[in-house]
Amino acid sequence: MNVVVLAAGKGKRMHSSLPKVLQALAGRPLLDHVLDATAGLADHPRVVVIGHAADIVRKPYEGRTDIVFALQQEQLGTGHALMQALAAINPEDPLTLVCLGDVPLLSPKTLMAMAEAGADGSLVLLTVELSDPTGYGRIVRNASGAVISIVEEKDASSEEKRICEVNTGIMCLPTAHLADWLSRLKNQNAQGEYYLTDVIGLAFNDGVSITTVHPEHVWEVEGINSKSQLARLERVWQRVQAERLLEGGVTIIDPDRFDLRGELICGQDVEIDVNVVFEGRVVIGSNVKIGANCVIKDAQIADGVQILPFCHIDGASVGTGSRVGPYSRLRPGAKLLGENHIGNFVEVKKSVVGLSSKVNHLTYIGDASIGERVNIGAGTITCNYDGVNKFRTEIGDDAFIGSGTELVAPVLVGAGATVGAGTTVTRSVPAGKLVVGRARQIVVEGWTRPVKKWEKTYVWHCGCGSSS
């Protein structure tokens, strides 16, 4: 099967400099969703017809071999757009599927049904019944029920406007007739465009059978022309994902406050609180609880983990039985090996935290290797960057790092060593030893705290400085 995706439109109603087909739904361009739905249907590259801001649309797909682009220099209608794809399709392939780049929720199941219906050489239309068909092309049938034409609303009579079966713009055409039909299209209509829908009348007159297929859900064929429509379909998509997870045994506290912008794989007895956002590929084990308002991206979370509210986990892995949060941030390369406690306002980046080690409060750990059973006190900083290069900090098993410590990398803290609170560590600490590096505390006699000008004025006007 040939697959052609029409994606040349500007999308004026989006009021955006970004082309319509690159607007994001579930964190990905609309065009991505259409390409996902059509993946595997064609044995050769699919054709994407682009026009408005063609270079911008093409750029995210540079290097892909499963698609080719055809340019519609002037936007003269859907029929004209398909004309531009003719040179790129395989004329020997019996079927040509035409999809729209702004209809992102099509299911592969529906497209396969269209392919099956067209296997006998029929022209296949994807249609739906709408209680309010305003704005859509109407499916016109004869007295015997056969489809004879599609009439656009602007060209429809008052009687035709009462028809509730509408065209979705998605069709499967017999390739052998395609070039001939497109060459016979006229632009004598209200818009002065070459309508692809006019091939229906040509097919009927040529004696080609026309059949219709209906999607399982109406929202599959809803197009996006405005930000409000985009927002509505975003919630439809998210609700579908939530229902899928619920059916698989995941507890989602409120499916209407759930966002998946990628792929989520869950084990048993996973609980997800409200306003959690998943991005990229996230794999979650069993018996995991994720608190409210977390953002989790490209992460692996093992069994028995508890993620407390307001955490941000990006490109990190969290080992079995760990507790993270609240207000923790795990950046790319953070690896918690298990039974770890990462507490409030702790940031871990490109570091390994060994089994049963704890970093509970107000701490930055970057470019570090931390052993097992290490305790890192509040306010600790690994000073890993000298303005040009990054350096590593290594902390051995059973070490204790006191609060307010600065570890100036590269530096090694040996196994079982203790670093006293407030120490700046610039040299390696021997295993099992205590190191303290603080300025000597002194009391300055005769010192008076400076007084601000307004305080002096206040004292004078209050009479506190009067001699009476």
Question: What positions carry a catalytic annotation?
Answer: 361
Q: Can you tell me the distance from the alpha carbon of 192 to that of 139, in angstroms, rounded to the nearest whole number?
A: 21
Question: No. of H helices and E strands in the chain?
Answer: 8, 39
Nearest to 426 by CA among 452, 405, 404, 456: 405
Q: Which two tokens stand for residue 240?
A: 């579908």
CB 297 within 8 A of CB 314: yes
Q: Can you tell me the distance from the alpha carbon of 407 to that of 393, in angstroms, rounded to the nearest whole number?
A: 7
DSSP string, 365-398: EESEEE-TT-EE-TT-EEE-B-SS-B--EEE-TT
User: Crossing angle, helix 108-117 and helix 30-38, to 10 degrees?
Assistant: 50
Q: Can you tell me the distance from the alpha carbon of 96 to that of 276, in angstroms, rounded to the nearest whole number?
A: 41
Give alpha helix (H) positions in 15-107. 30-38, 54-58, 78-85
Cβ neighbours for 127, distance < 8 A, ≥ 6 positions apart: 139, 165, 166, 167, 168, 212, 213, 214
Q: Can you tell me the distance from the alpha carbon of 183 to that of 179, in angstroms, rounded to the nearest whole number?
A: 6
Quickly count: other Cβ atoms within 10 Å of residue 397's Cβ: 17
DSSP string, 159-209: TGGG--EEEEEEEEEEHHHHHHHHHT----STT----GGGHHHHHHHTT--
Q: Can you tell me the distance from the alpha carbon of 53 to that of 199, in angstroms, rounded to the nearest whole number?
A: 28
User: Crossing angle, helix 175-183 and helix 78-85, to 10 degrees?
Assistant: 130
CB 282 within 8 A of CB 262: yes
Report the alpha-carbon angle 102-107-108, nearest 5: 115
